[in-house]
Amino acid sequence: MSDLTKLTLAEARAGLIAKSYSAVELTRAHLEAIEKARALNAFVTETPEKALAMAAKSDERLASGQAGPLEGIPLAVKDLFCTDGVRTTASSKILGNFVPSYESTVTSNLWADGAVLLGKVGCDEFAMGGSNETSAFGPVVNPWRRREADGSIDPTPLVPGGSSGGSAAAVAAHLAIGAAGTDTGGSIRQPAAFTGIVGIKPTYGRCSRWGIVAYASSLDQAGPFARTVEDAAILLKSFASVDGKDTTSVDTPVPDYAAAIGKSVKGLTIGVPREYRVDGLSPEIAQLWDQGIEWLKAAGANVREISLPHTPYALPAYYIIATAEASSNLARYDGVRYGLRVPGEDIVDTYEKTRAAGFGSEVRRRIMLGTYVLSAGYYDAYYVRAQKVRTLIARDFEASFNDGIDAVLVPATPSPAFGIGEKSGGDPVEMYLQDVFTVTVNLAGLPGMVVPGGRSSTGLPLGLQLIGRPFGEEALFTLGHVIEAAAGRFTPEPWWQD
């Protein structure tokens, strides 16, 4: 990789302002890296011409002293954000040729702040998955590979996590300085952990959902990927806004998150929930967690064991709520107004054939399960009960916060990245268990950040997760920076360039 792709966002920004290189040069270096990394299949749509045109505009603004906070910074965007004039597929056949004539609020914010679009990156179809394998455009490959005991490299391709796997792979492989993702049950945090980078799912309502292809509206939230905690803080400030077009956007001013980096953690109290020490927790994950606790203690934080008793019920509640909302949200894909149409004998036959051909098997399964749990006679037993369980899970966290806990520290995932095909063949529930440490945060609407904390016995990155109070993102950046300073940064060998 060239020197310009090694830069952090903060470094690149300083270099652009100092005129050490131009925005066009910075963008071109990343476009060249993307060309050499096609083996990773990170991008669904590359937009090199648009990127260079945007970078040229950035150079004009830099020259006239009108640079925005992300001026000239090349980013990758999950193919779930609608981008004006740029194909937006949600990694689904049913939207394979959809070209929006409008821009999502989050990406509008990024371009208004001067960022450059490198292209749209792959994800699980409609963000439904934890491995990127449900994409209609083929799985994204993790830039990391396993190391054997003798130090040799195992060439088995690994998943980058999901659903925002393309975003995570692009940042980890230095194809983009940062990326936009979305997180409904762990879709930013799990891929960040699997690729050794930083990812944050903000508090529900912090980033506008307007213009993002909807999966489960009461759980979906956009957030950034970056290689450092500071870069993630800089990006989140641009992602977040108060938006009249999203009725769940919360009217709270956006703070300067980067100012929280480097603050002392003395006096902060960290909760360690005993329910996350699940049966069969792998020893290396337990060791990583203990190490994280030690780092925060050494920096002056107080650590206390807490109880979040309804944790075991989070995953089943999540799969009822998410599938129910998905069945309703995805009703719009009917082959009439946009997307694929498969002609049938009459209108209903056209709908049924279109949706059978346009959706992949995981999406069809989730829509059908959601339809079932919402159908007459089952609504109270499933959906209403799950929403009550959700209240209990939110109350667990609230009780801890009221009891003086500032943030909660848990592992990000139960294992490091697994091989493509290793978990996708059998029972869908096995894949769902990947989200065991992340879904609680979406159900309670809280912010959660993943920071790389160490390596597995096979040399793969492992992530630690910090969970904050509602709108407590600043504390997460302060604490995340402490972990980053102790754990260091994680960079894969660029084997894909061969």
DSSP assignment letter at 66: -
CB 369 to another protein: min, Å: 6
Residues composing the chain: 498
Residue of 13, 145, 355, 423 interacting with another protein (CB under 8 A): 355
CB 336 to another protein: min, Å: 5
CA 344, distance to chain mean position in Å, is 38
Residue of 266, 348, 377, 425 interacting with another protein (CB under 8 A): 348
Residue of 340, 412, 439, 441 interacting with another protein (CB under 8 A): 340
x-or-dash string of contact with another protein, 149-188, rule CB under 8 A: ----------------------------------------
Residue of 181, 335, 447, 453 interacting with another protein (CB under 8 A): 335
Nearer to another protein by Cβ, of 14 and 331: the residue is 331
Residue of 104, 134, 327, 440 interacting with another protein (CB under 8 A): 327
CA geometry: angle at 151 spanning 149 and 156, to 5°? Answer: 80
DSSP assignment letter at 39: G
Site of tokens 């194809």: 175
Nearer to another protein by Cβ, of 130 and 463: the residue is 130
Q: Which of 4, 58, 51, 46 is nearest to 26 (CA)?
A: 4
Sign of CA dihedral 463, 466, 470, 474: negative
CB 427 to another protein: min, Å: 5
Residue of 250, 254, 278, 486 interacting with another protein (CB under 8 A): 250
Nearer to another protein by Cβ, of 315 and 408: the residue is 315
CA 132, distance to chain mean position in Å, is 12
How would you label 4-23 residue by residue, b for 16+ Cβ within 10 Å and e otherwise? bbebbbbbbbebbeeeebbb
Residue of 56, 364, 422, 486 interacting with another protein (CB under 8 A): 364
DSSP assignment letter at 358: H
CB 467 to another protein: min, Å: 15
CB 277 to another protein: min, Å: 19
Nearer to another protein by Cβ, of 171 and 188: the residue is 188
Nearer to another protein by Cβ, of 204 and 239: the residue is 204
* Phi, psi angles (nearest 5°) of residue 248: -100, 5
Per CB under 8 A, 280 contacts another protein: no
Rounded CA separation 50/68 (Å): 18
- Residues serving a catalytic function are 78, 163, 187
CB 490 within 8 A of CB 464: no
Rounded CA separation 136/122 (Å): 9
* Sequential DSSP letters for 239-263: H----TT-TT----PPP-GGGGTT-
The answer for residues whose C-beta is within 8 angstroms of residue 218's C-beta and 6 or more apart is: 204, 321, 325
Q: Count Cα atoms within 13 angstroms, Cβ side, for 438.
A: 35
CB 16 within 8 A of CB 71: yes
> Residue 178 corresponds to which tokens in the numbers above?
């940062």
Site of tokens 């912090």: 206
DSSP assignment letter at 197: -
Rounded CA separation 213/210 (Å): 9
CB 458 to another protein: min, Å: 29
Given the rule CB under 8 A, which of 191-199, 290-298, 340-348, 474-482 is the region that contacts another protein?
A: 340-348
Residue of 153, 384, 404, 495 interacting with another protein (CB under 8 A): 384
Q: How far is CA 218 from CA 191, 203, 378, in A?
A: 21, 12, 20
CB 109 to another protein: min, Å: 19
Nearer to another protein by Cβ, of 146 and 355: the residue is 355
Touching another protein, residues 441-480 (CB under 8 A)? 445, 470
Sign of CA dihedral 114, 117, 122, 126: positive
Residue of 352, 472, 486, 494 interacting with another protein (CB under 8 A): 352
Nearer to another protein by Cβ, of 382 and 490: the residue is 382
Nearer to another protein by Cβ, of 113 and 473: the residue is 473
Q: How many CB atoms lie within 10 A of CB 56?
A: 15
Residue of 45, 218, 282, 458 interacting with another protein (CB under 8 A): 218
H-helix segments, 160-219: 165-172, 189-195
Per CB under 8 A, 320 contacts another protein: yes
Nearer to another protein by Cβ, of 183 and 230: the residue is 183
Chain residues that interact with another protein, rule: CB under 8 A: 97-99, 101, 203-205, 218, 244, 247-248, 250, 310, 312-313, 315-317, 319-320, 327, 331, 334-341, 343-353, 355-356, 359, 364-365, 367-369, 371-372, 375, 381-382, 384-392, 394, 427-429, 432, 445, 470
